[in-house]
A and B are shown apart, each in its own frame.
Chain A
């Protein structure tokens, strides 16, 4: 058996002798890793989701017609070419009648929406999405046929679903934008365009839009933009603080477990010194044990953290989040760092003692 194999063999023997302690130490690391992965995953995902939520609520810039009643599709062409514009979507508003009740109709691009919780499905051609207040007022059910009156035209449409957002959508009916434009005879027309501009350049981009399109109103939802960034930063700071506290707590817990382990094995350390082990060769055993504990904790912590983050995201946003794979390496690295750094001090302390003192039981 060569020295490396013997080292691993001894390591295995040592760890399997102390399964309880290894489990406790690994559990401490696992919890820390799980919280870090969860916090990081949620933090990364929340930026993605929150941005999506605010996009679907309304962007940070709204373009509306200045003197004309409607905007034309040409606005889209200009916005497509601006690199500071992250996304945009047009909407068309009109008054229609549904089963005799006068309601607002919103034509919008359902493909650009995220995070809408729809009971049913988004409307296809010939279908209509109903706000929950309208549903309740008219006593509608899924797949019901409704008579939609636009001007002097009556069209039968099928109810594809219901939506409740706590906003104006609850009191409106919604159709695909192109369909709404055809129904109302306003093909190529828009009532508003919602634009999402990169927050850091919002002022400059708005000015550029105004300069290039003097015939439209360009307004910033300044409070939304700043609140979004501020909120995200607060979330990230909170996550960072929680992570820090957890790391410290975990480090203390693992350190005390490792201290107890080293104390238990003081005679073993004394013996190793007596039979010719140098400080580094002895230290290597214990740090390797710490490394194994860190790997076990880091791996299991990643799985637990990943599942927790998904559970939180599903609960909060109704969907899962995408956690970058590098978080796995962060979890593993962090686990090893906690365990190894918690081992260094007790081992180094034990190595200070003379072998004679240890073996004598002092």
Chain B
């Protein structure tokens, strides 16, 4: 079994079907991009892999663990140990500083260590923005805080849902270069959802989705 294994996952809502039997395997340490038009089911797939949502049918295995067998609290514990998230809207807590936002992830994981949080922010180039609140940061800086928060607990997987969706080209490049650097240093698995072909080409493998199905699966050579 691969590190991440998605088996015949279906997701149905009352008025629509988001996923129509998706199968997908991901090797450990790989960077996979998922592209597709709006409504193709890529974010839904990402959420199900991350345990933020549950499939109507099918199963997801991560490192041998069947996510469907976990209770809600067990899933939360699994997420904090293994998965980091970067969202399109960074979802930083508005009244916490950059350091405090990173420490929030530490709090739920184990212990809070301000020095470690500062180090994480230094790695993403925000050593000079430690005590700024999100409203005082640019979009690109907010996403870098989000990346620091996502990686503070050394997860095995980074799930990124349109992480550059709100950024201009320059900031997009900066974020992607940062992710590439961290990926090469720490070898976590990345699954990145995007509608932007420029962003998708930074991955090692590209999955294309349409109407709830994976219609193409191709390697990329960076």
Partners in one complex: yes
CB pair B112–A276 under 8 Å, yes or no, is no
**A179–B104 Cα gap in the complex (Å)?**
82
B-contact 0/1 string along A338-362, CB 8 Å cutoff: 0000000000000000111101100
Q: Which A-chain residue is minimally distant from B85 (CB atoms)?
A: A274
B91 is an interface residue with CB less than 8 A from chain A: yes
**A14–B109 Cα gap in the complex (Å)?**
20
- How many chain A residues touch B (CB < 8 A): the figure is 32
B93 is an interface residue with CB less than 8 A from chain A: yes
Scan residues 78-93 of chain B and give those whose CB is less than 8 A from a CB of chain A: 79-81, 85, 87, 89, 91, 93
Would you give the shortest CB distance from A112 to chain B, in whole angstroms?
Answer: 64
A278 is an interface residue with CB less than 8 A from chain B: yes
Q: Is the interface of A mostly helix, strand, loop or mixed?
A: helix
Choose one: A3, A267, A279, A357; the contact of B91 (CB below 8 Å): A267
Choose one: B79, B95, B112; the contact of A2 (CB below 8 Å): B112
Most chain-A CB neighbours within 10 Å: which of B105, B108, B149? B108
Q: Which residues of A contact B93 (CB under 8 A)?
A: 268, 271
- How many chain B residues touch A (CB < 8 A): the figure is 35
A-contact 0/1 string along B89-112, CB 8 Å cutoff: 101011110001001110111011
CB pair A278–B73 under 8 Å, yes or no, is yes
**A12–B114 Cα gap in the complex (Å)?**
17
B130 is an interface residue with CB less than 8 A from chain A: no
CB pair B114–A1 under 8 Å, yes or no, is yes
CB pair A275–B108 under 8 Å, yes or no, is yes
**A292–B66 Cα gap in the complex (Å)?**
41
Choose one: A16, A276, A356; the contact of B109 (CB below 8 Å): A276
A158 is an interface residue with CB less than 8 A from chain B: no
Q: Which B-chain residue is minimally distant from A354 (CB atoms)?
A: B53
A23 is an interface residue with CB less than 8 A from chain B: no
B77 is an interface residue with CB less than 8 A from chain A: yes
**A16–B96 Cα gap in the complex (Å)?**
11
Would you give the shortest CB distance from A261 to chain B, in whole angstroms?
Answer: 13
Choose one: B43, B77, B81, B95; the contact of A17 (CB below 8 Å): B95
Known: A277-B108, A354-B52, A354-B53. Is A359-B91 also a contact (CB below 8 A)? yes
CB pair B76–A276 under 8 Å, yes or no, is yes
Would you give the shortest CB distance from A191 to chain B, in whole angstroms?
Answer: 78
A-contact 0/1 string along B146-158, CB 8 Å cutoff: 0001000100000
A111 is an interface residue with CB less than 8 A from chain B: no
A219 is an interface residue with CB less than 8 A from chain B: no
Choose one: B53, B77, B81; the contact of A278 (CB below 8 Å): B77
Would you give the shortest CB distance from B104 to chain A, in whole angstroms?
Answer: 7
Known: A13-B95, A355-B52. Is A3-B111 also a contact (CB below 8 A)? yes
Q: Which residues of A contact B (CB under 8 A)?
A: 1-3, 5-7, 9-10, 13-14, 16-17, 267-268, 270-281, 354-357, 359-360
- 15 additional contacts (CB under 8 A) given A276-B109, A359-B52: A1-B113, A13-B100, A271-B93, A273-B76, A274-B52, A275-B85, A275-B104, A275-B105, A276-B76, A276-B77, A276-B153, A278-B73, A278-B77, A279-B76, A359-B91
Q: List 14 A-B contacts (CB under 8 A).
A: A2-B112, A3-B112, A13-B96, A275-B79, A275-B85, A275-B149, A276-B81, A276-B105, A276-B153, A278-B73, A279-B76, A280-B73, A355-B53, A359-B89
A-B pairs with lowest CB-CB distance, top 3 = A276-B80, A17-B95, A356-B47
Q: Which residues of B contact A (CB under 8 A)?
A: 43-44, 47, 50, 52-54, 72-73, 76-77, 79-81, 85, 87, 89, 91, 93-96, 100, 103-105, 107-109, 111-114, 149, 153
